[in-house]
Amino acid sequence: MTRDRATWLLYLHMAAFGYFLYCFGPSVTLLGDDLGVSNAVAALHSTAYAAAGVLIALLGDRPMRRFGRGRTLWAGCGLLSAGVLAYCAAGAPAVSLSAALLCGFGAFLVVNVAGTALADHHGPIAGPSALSEANGLAAGVGMAAPLLIGVMDSSGPGWRWAMVVVPVLFGALAAGFGRTQIPDVVAATPSRTPPGSPSPEAPPESAGSAAPPPPSPPLSVPTLLPPASPSAKARASRVTGAPPVSTSSGSLPAAYWWAWLLTVCSVGVEFSLSLWASTLLRDRTGMSEGAAATAMTAVVAGLCLGRLAGGRLALRIPLDRLYGSAVAVNLVGFALFWSATVPWLAYLGLFVSGLGMSVQFPLATAAAIRAAAGRADLAVSRLAVATTLAAGGAPFLLGLATDLMPVRTAFLLLPILLLASLPILHKSTHPKPRP
372 pLDDT more than 90: no
344 pLDDT more than 70: yes
Q: In angstroms, rounded to a whole number, what is the distance separating the alpha carbons of residues 122 and 128?
A: 8
Q: Is residue 191 situated within a structural domain?
A: no
Taking only the tens place, the pLDDT of each residue in 61-89 is 788 888 888 899 999 999 999 999 999 99
CB atoms within 10 A of CB 409: 11
Q: Is residue 205 situated within a structural domain?
A: no
What's the whole-model pTM score? 0.74
How confident is the model at residue 239, as a pLDDT? 39
Q: Is residue 209 situated within a structural domain?
A: no
Q: What angle do CA 167, 173, 174 make, to 5 degrees?
A: 90
pLDDT band at 349 (very low <50, low <70, confident <90, very high): very high
Q: What angle do CA 304, 392, 221 make, to 5 degrees?
A: 15
Q: Is residue 204 situated within a structural domain?
A: no
Domain count, the chain: 1
Long-range contact list for 185-191, CB < 8 A, 24+ apart? 185/61, 185/64, 185/65, 185/68, 185/69, 185/211, 185/212, 186/120, 186/211, 187/65, 187/211
* Nearest Cα residue to 45 out of 34, 60, 59: 34
How confident is the model at residue 189, as a pLDDT? 40
Residue-number span of the structural domain to which 365 is assigned: 5-184+215-429
118 pLDDT more than 50: yes
For every residue of 317-362, DSSP letters joined together read S-HHHHHHHHHHHHHHHHHHHHH--SHHHHHHHHHHHHHHHHHHHH
The CA distances from residue 71 to 110, 172, 179, 180, 248, in Å, are 11, 17, 11, 12, 28
Percent of the chain with pLDDT over 90: 35
How confident is the model at residue 121, as a pLDDT? 80
How confident is the model at residue 433, as a pLDDT? 63
141 pLDDT more than 60: yes
Q: Is residue 392 situated within a structural domain?
A: yes
160 pLDDT more than 90: yes
227 pLDDT more than 70: no
Q: Is residue 195 situated within a structural domain?
A: no
CB of 164 closer than 8 Å to CB of 80: no
Q: Is residue 197 situated within a structural domain?
A: no
Q: Is residue 33 situated within a structural domain?
A: yes
- CATH for 268: 1.20.1250.20
How confident is the model at residue 406, as a pLDDT? 92
